């Protein structure tokens, strides 16, 4: 019988930072049978469709207003996963993902991943909220006063 694969906290953190919107971190930790991991690319693709629509049709395209924040939220949630993974104590990580295996020290890899995730996640989340709010108020100002 094969020994269970070791799940590295450093690798999981960086997979969430670099490929979290595609669910790579979930597939790494939970295996190829993780349904939510396979569903991650759908909202990411929907958000990218919004970006492409806005580049092609301009800022007045209402559908892209609705689709772009989906991408921002996917990026923000993957950064949150990276932060949670990187800040999980080594003992708790080993007990959850590597039971019965000898513990390994993680070093600075997860810490650096958390720093990158904090910078990217905070920036993208603030940008998503600002974009969504701006487009909502622009839409409200464009409505006739009888419909408000």
* pLDDT computed for residue 139 by the predictor: 78
Number of alpha helices (DSSP H) and beta strands (DSSP E) in the chain: 7, 0
* pLDDT computed for residue 1 by the predictor: 44
- In the predicted model, is pLDDT for residue 2 greater than 70? no
DSSP 35-71: HHHHHTHHHHHHHHHHHHHHHHH-TT-HHHHHHHHHH
* pLDDT computed for residue 60 by the predictor: 80
What's the pLDDT tens digit per position in 60-118? 888 888 899 999 999 999 999 999 999 999 999 999 998 888 878 888 999 999 999 99
Say what percent of the chain tops pLDDT 70: 93
pLDDT bin (cut points 50, 70, 90) of residue 145 is low
Quick count: other Cβ atoms within 10 Å of Cβ 60? Answer: 10
* pLDDT computed for residue 100 by the predictor: 85
Mean pLDDT of the chain: 89
Q: What is the CA radius of gyration of the chain?
A: 19
Stated as kind and residue range, the H or E segment containing 143 is none
């Amino acid at each position: 019988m094969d020994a269970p694969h070791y799940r590295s906290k450093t690798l999981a953190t960086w997979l969430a930072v670099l490929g979290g919107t595609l669910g790579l971190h979930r597939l790494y930790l939970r295996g190829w049978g993780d349904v939510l991991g396979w569903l991650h690319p759908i909202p990411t693709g929907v958000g990218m469709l919004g970006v492409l629509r806005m580049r092609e049709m301009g800022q007045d395209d209402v559908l892209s207003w609705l689709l772009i924040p989906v991408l921002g939220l996917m990026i923000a949630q993957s950064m949150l996963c990276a932060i949670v993974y990187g800040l999980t104590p080594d003992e708790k990580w080993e007990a959850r993902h590597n039971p019965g295996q000898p513990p390994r020290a993680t070093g600075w890899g997860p810490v650096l991943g958390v720093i990158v995730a904090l910078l990217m996640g905070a920036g993208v989340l603030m940008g998503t909220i600002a974009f969504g709010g701006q487009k909502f108020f622009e839409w409200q100002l464009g409505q006739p006063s009888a419909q408000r």
